[in-house]
Each structure stands twice: as structure tokens, then as C-alpha cells.
Amino acid sequence: MNMMELKPGLEIPSVSKHVTLERVRLFYGESEKNIHTDEAAAREVGLPCPIAPALMPTAFLSEMLAGFFGKSWIVGGAIALTFTGMVLAGDIITARGVVEESEADDSGTRVSLKVWCEKQTGSRVVVGRASAVLVSSP
């Protein structure tokens, strides 16, 4: 990507995932019974169905950021998140990011993003900020 194109407001490529109960259970294993993996346990505490653990939308954001920053996300990226809503089994979650600022760095361009995950309804369930160095291609 041309570093001149990294203007505030630029949306980076998003990542969408269908949060199925089967995917949620992969985080815990089939034998674990809790509000994330078991419908009866979720209903017992007043939830309509099992909820995804916070790690799932965090992983979706990380996948999106690794796609944008490449290796520099893994070796030096930073993220700060606030969880604002529940992700239910069955939801479709989209991780999104928008450039807030970018500045030259010794090894490339440090890019700061506003990031979030939203449900299929458009409601945001995670909001935050992320940054890493986007390395220029030779």
C-alpha cells in the first residue's frame, strides 16, 4: 500500500465470521459445561443462548490486523479493547478498522487505528484502538 494513501478515515479490509456453537466449543472442549458451551447453563443465568467468550471477537480483530500489517502485527502490534455487548451463538461478527493517524517511523509507518466488532444488526460489541508499524515494500 502506498503510504500516502493512509489518510485518516481510510477503512482497512474487514473480517466477518459466523459465531456458531461449534466454534465456541472449540475454545473450551466438548466436556466443559458453562455459559459459553451449554444451552442449559446459559439459560440458568438468564441468557437466551450460549455466549461467545471475549477471545473470539479479539481473535477476529487480530486476524484483520495481521492481514493489514503482516508480520509486524505479530511482533510489535498493540491493542486496547472495551467489550460493550454480548456475542451470542448464531451472530455474524464483523471486525472493522479505520485509520486514525499515521506517521513515519525508522522501520516504516506507524499506523494507529480505531477498531471494533459489530453484529449483523450493526451494534458494536467491542471497541478500541490498535497500532503497529506498516513496513514499506522495497
Give domain status of residue 38, yes or no.
no
pLDDT tier for residue 4 given thresholds of 50, 70 and 90 = low
How, if at all, do strands 15-18 and 92-105 pair?
Answer: antiparallel
Give domain status of residue 79, yes or no.
yes
Give domain status of residue 59, yes or no.
yes
Among 112, 116, 95, which Cα is nearest to 103's? 112
Give domain status of residue 24, yes or no.
no
Give domain status of residue 39, yes or no.
no
Cα angle 49-54-59, degrees, rounded to a multiple of 5:
120
CATH number for the domain harbouring residue 8: 3.10.129.10
Largest CA distance in the chain: 57
How, if at all, do strands 108-118 and 15-18 pair?
Answer: unpaired
* Domain housing 107: 3-18+53-134
Q: What is the pLDDT of residues 105-132, one digit of tens each?
A: 788 899 999 999 999 999 999 999 999 9
Give domain status of residue 124, yes or no.
yes
Give domain status of residue 63, yes or no.
yes
- Tell me what pLDDT residue 78 has: 97
What is the C-alpha to C-alpha distance for residues 84 and 38, in angstroms, rounded to an integer? 22
What is the C-alpha to C-alpha distance for residues 10 and 99, in angstroms, rounded to an integer? 5
pLDDT at 46 over 60: yes
pLDDT at 72 over 70: yes
Helices 21-28, 55-69: inter-axial angle, 10-degree rounding: 90
Number of domains in the chain: 1
Give domain status of residue 7, yes or no.
yes
User: CA separation (Å) from 117 to 3, 22, 40, 43?
Assistant: 25, 20, 27, 25
